[in-house]
Chain A
């Protein structure tokens, strides 16, 4: 069946370091992927997206990489800050108008 999963449930990084959060997906027909950030007590917030015809997309301090060969998605956060502490979800659009979400990775930034 379809699934989107994350390799690590928790990630702890030092402030100023770069963070990498990984995600595996199983539906090769998915053509659109999104990363969301969810802070405690809040709804998921859109961070960045990427379409399947791209390998890389950059935003402000964030980069998403897509490897379709191994069905792998990653989110890189440069110079991680305390405000980046949150749970990060990847999601795939399975072309059925629905998003399938991964379990989430909790990012903790140490000062």
Chain B
């Protein structure tokens, strides 16, 4: 079984809708991250969490919010989706130094 899972894997939604992307990890890591990837670009950090009570904004947090429900779960919400949020979203958890990524969620906002 995968160590980091994401749901849904694909989602198509309309402008203005609220969307939640979910992430779970079974590695027992305290640190979790949400990234966005656009075509031809690297990963950009949206939010990160060092433990359940510690949430931090990344470089592109505007338009997004997160919730760390438990050590193993970290969800990303788009309060009012807009077309330029169409992208591939990755969740990751981190052990000592290395981050391990989920399979990604492909989000399309029409």
Q: Which residues of A contact B (CB under 8 A)?
A: 9, 32, 34, 36, 41-46, 49, 89, 91, 93, 97-99, 101-104
Give complex CA distance A93, B45 in Å: 13
Chain A residues within 8 Å of B50, by CB: 97
Instruction: Choose, from B60-68, B72-80, B95-103, the stretch at the interface.
Output: B95-103
**CB atoms of B42 and A43 under 8 A apart:** no
Give complex CA distance A26, B106 in Å: 31
Chain B residues within 8 Å of A42, by CB: 103-104
Chain A residues within 8 Å of B41, by CB: 103-104
Interface residue? B43 (CB, 8 A):
yes
Contact count A vs B, C-beta below 8 Å: 49
- B interface SS class: strand
**CB atoms of A32 and B103 under 8 A apart:** no
* Number of residues of chain B lying within 8 A (CB) of chain A: 23
Give complex CA distance A104, B39 in Å: 11
Give complex CA distance A22, B4 in Å: 28
Q: Which residue of A lies closest to B48 (CB)?
A: A98
Give complex CA distance A89, B33 in Å: 17
A-contact bits for B79-110, CB 8 A (1 contact / 0 none): 00000000000101010011111111000000
Chain A residues within 8 Å of B44, by CB: 101
**CB atoms of A43 and B97 under 8 A apart:** no
Chain A residues within 8 Å of B4, by CB: 43
Chain B residues within 8 Å of A44, by CB: 43, 90, 101
**CB atoms of A43 and B90 under 8 A apart:** yes
Give complex CA distance A9, B99 in Å: 23
Tell me how far the C-beta of A47 lies from the nearest C-beta in chain B, rounded to whole angstroms: 10
Give complex CA distance A103, B104 in Å: 18
Chain B residues within 8 Å of A34, by CB: 97-99
Q: Which residue of A lies closest to B4 (CB)?
A: A43
Give complex CA distance A9, B94 in Å: 27
Give complex CA distance A94, B94 in Å: 14
Interface residue? B16 (CB, 8 A):
no
5 A–B contacts from the bound complex (CB under 8 Å): A34-B97, A34-B98, A97-B31, A97-B48, A98-B33
